[in-house]
Amino acid sequence: MGLISRIKQFCFVTLRIKKYKSLSDCKRVSGKPKLYFPLLLKGNGKVQFGKNFQNGVVESSCYYSNYNYILSMDHESEVIIGDNVVFSNGVSIYAKSKVTIEDKVMIGINCFIIDSDGHDLSAQERMTGIPKTAEITIKKNVAIYYNSTILKGVTIGENSVIGSGSIVTRDIPANVFAAGNPAKVIRNL
For residue 68, what are the β-bridge partners? 39
> Whats the size of the chain, residue-wise?
189
The whole-angstrom separation of Cα 54 and Cα 50 is: 10
Q: SS3 sequence, 3-60?
A: HHHHHHHHHHHHHHHHHHHHHCCCCEEECCCEECCCEEEECCCEEEECCCCEECCCCC
- What is the DSSP code (8-state) at residue 131? P
The DSSP H or E segment spanning 177 is strand 176-180
Per the annotation, the verdict on 119 as an active-site residue is: yes
Query: 34, 119, 126, 170: which one is catalytic?
Result: 119
Between CA 133 and CA 79 the distance in angstroms is 14
Residues annotated as catalytic are 119
